[in-house]
Amino acid sequence: MGSKERILRLKEETRTSILDAALNIVQTEGWQALSMRKIADHIEYTAPIIYEYFPNKEGILLELTRRGYQILGKDIREARDKHDLAEDKMEAMWVAYWNFAFTHKEFYQLMYGVDMVCCTVKNSMAEAEQVSAMLGDVIESLFIKQPVSENDICMKYYTYWSIIHGLISINLVRPNGRTTDELNQQILKDAIKGITLSINS
Amino acid sequence: MGSKERILRLKEETRTSILDAALNIVQTEGWQALSMRKIADHIEYTAPIIYEYFPNKEGILLELTRRGYQILGKDIREARDKHDLAEDKMEAMWVAYWNFAFTHKEFYQLMYGVDMVCCTVKNSMAEAEQVSAMLGDVIESLFIKQPVSENDICMKYYTYWSIIHGLISINLVRPNGRTTDELNQQILKDAIKGITLSINS
DNA sequence: TACCTTTGCTTAACAGTGTTAGATTATTTA
DNA sequence: TAAATAATCTAACACTGTTAAGCAAAGGTA
Residues A5 and B11: their CA atoms lie apart, in Å, by: 68
Asked whether A134 and B77 are in contact (CB, 8 A), the reply is yes
Asked whether A173 and A113 are in contact (CB, 8 A), the reply is yes
Asked whether A117 and A32 are in contact (CB, 8 A), the reply is yes
DSSP secondary structure letter of residue B147 = S
User: What percent of chain B shows pLDDT beyond 90?
Assistant: 31
Among A67-71, A179-183, A197-201, B90-94, which stretch is predicted with the lowest mean pLDDT? A179-183
Instruction: Give A54 CA → D17 C1' in Å.
Output: 13
Nearest CA in chain B to A170: B162
Q: Is residue B148 less than 8 Å (CB to CB) from chain A?
A: no
Q: What is the pLDDT of residues A78-114, one digit of tens each?
A: 999 999 988 888 888 888 888 888 899 898 888 776 5
* B2 to chain A, closest Cα gap in Å: 33
What is the reported pTM?
0.81
pLDDT of residue B122: 43
Q: Does residue A175 have a cis peptide bond before it, meaning omega lies within 30 degrees of 0?
A: no
Q: Which residues of B touch A109 (CB under 8 A)?
A: 172
pLDDT of residue A16: 95
Interface of A with B in 154-173 (CB under 8 A): 154-155, 158-173
Q: How confident is the model at residue B187 (pLDDT cuts 50, 70, 90)?
A: confident
Q: How confident is the model at residue A43 (pLDDT cuts 50, 70, 90)?
A: very high
**A91 with B166: Cβ contact below 8 A:** no
Q: How many CB atoms lie within 10 A of CB B157?
A: 18
| Measured distance between the N- and C-terminal CA atoms of chain B, rounded to whole angstroms | 75
**A163 with B160: Cβ contact below 8 A:** no
Interface of A with B in 113-142 (CB under 8 A): 113-119, 121-123, 125, 127-128, 130-131, 134-135, 138-139, 141-142
pLDDT of residue B172: 62
Does residue A48 reach within 7 angstroms of strand C, measured from its CB?
yes
- Amino acid letter, residue B179: T
Instruction: List C-alpha distances in Å: B24 to A198, B34, B38, B72.
Output: 43, 9, 11, 19
Interface of A with B in 58-117 (CB under 8 A): 58, 61-62, 65-66, 69-70, 72-73, 76-77, 80, 86-87, 89-91, 93-95, 97-98, 101-102, 105, 108-109, 111-117
Whether the CA torsion B171, B172, B175, B177 is positive or negative: it is negative
pLDDT of residue A2: 46
